[in-house]
Chain A
Amino acid sequence: MSVFRKNIKRVNPEISTASLPDVVFILLFFFMVSAVFRTTQQTVKVNLPSAKNSNNDRINNQLSIIVSTKNDSSVCYFGKLSGSPEDLKSWLISEKEQLQPIEIEKLKIIIRADAQTPVGFINRIKKSLQETDLLQVRFFTNHP
């Protein structure tokens, strides 16, 4: 049994961390490239109107409606759906059902609409909002 000697002096092996930056860089580039591909597929292009005297307040309870206009035809995007301003109502009602009355009181409707959208279309959205009793609207703008 004298083969197994108990007090062999071990040298503490040190792992070189020099290649760690390379690994991190490769991961970084991978995520950067893959992230860019996904977002370009899913965005709706909206050219917000510009305004100088806009508020810059924090909005906590919100529902967001996006209106995109292309070649004289406008579409609303809300939640994961899209459609006409009249389709908004059923979505608004279902969203309202999930909220507490206190939250509904503070709920703001954010409208991000393209600058070329006709006002008639915006008015149809407003009518749907009025009919579902959501009256606090915020028109999002760009700074010129």
Chain B
Amino acid sequence: MGFRRLHRPESKINAGTMADIGFLLLIFFLVTSSMQSRKNIPINLPPNNNEATVISEPIDERNLLEIKLDNDIVLIKNQQMPWDSIPSIIESFVANPTKSNQNAENSNKALITITATDKTPYQQYIRLYDSLRSGYIRVYVVKSLEIFNQSYSALPSALKDSLYKQIPMRVAEE
């Protein structure tokens, strides 16, 4: 009927770079988004007092380290101590390298008790646990060289677990 199809040159835009843009965005969001932290301090609560499973063992005075916490004041054996000194106090108490009869007679017999006042902020309570753990880590560093002849940081997790079993961190709270 006289309509003739016009032959236009077809315009093509290269869409091949789409994938690049997609990846770029993906990587950007992966990097900028913050993963939810898994960092935690584990504690095991004692069983409920009503149960008959509570075993009372007599504890020698020298195996006991009493720590009291009120706001940011730490009392160890009723003496105020600076925060920085806690790890070394814990280390000498637990490991007892000088075999003093003031400190624990055996590393696995050491018991630390914590008494915190109700008003103490949770931050200070976690800070105290953090200090206790760094004291214990010092003990582990020395012991892993002694027992396994390997540095603590390079220790495989199975050996670490056996180390934790040999010297458990025993903390009681009131």
A residues near B (Cβ < 8 Å) are 14, 16-18, 20-21, 24, 28, 48-59, 110, 113-120, 122-123, 126, 129-131, 133, 135-143
Contacts and interface: CB of A to CB of B under 8 A. Distances in A.
Interface string B1-44: 00000000011110100100110010000000000011111111
A142 B119 contact: no
Contact of A20 (B15, B118, B129, B134): B15
A122 B173 CA distance: 12
B39 A140 contact: yes
Given A51-B39, A52-B130, A55-B39, A18 B121 contact: no
B8 to A, nearest CB: 11
Nearest to A59: B38
Given A14-B10, A17-B15, A143 B125 contact: no
Nearest to A122: B122
A56 B45 CA distance: 20
Interface of B: 10-13, 15, 18, 21-22, 25, 37-48, 69, 116-127, 129-130, 133-134, 137
Contacts of A50: 123, 126
A125 B123 CA distance: 16
Contacts of A123: 118
Nearest to B70: A119
Contacts of B122: 49, 113-119, 122
B125 A122 contact: yes
8 contacts: A24-B18, A48-B37, A56-B39, A115-B122, A115-B123, A119-B125, A122-B122, A136-B42
A143 B35 CA distance: 13
B118 A54 contact: no
A113 B124 CA distance: 13
B37 A143 contact: yes
Contacts of B127: 49, 51
B41 A138 contact: yes
B134 A52 contact: yes
Contacts of A14: 10, 12
A136 B43 CA distance: 6
A56 B47 contact: no
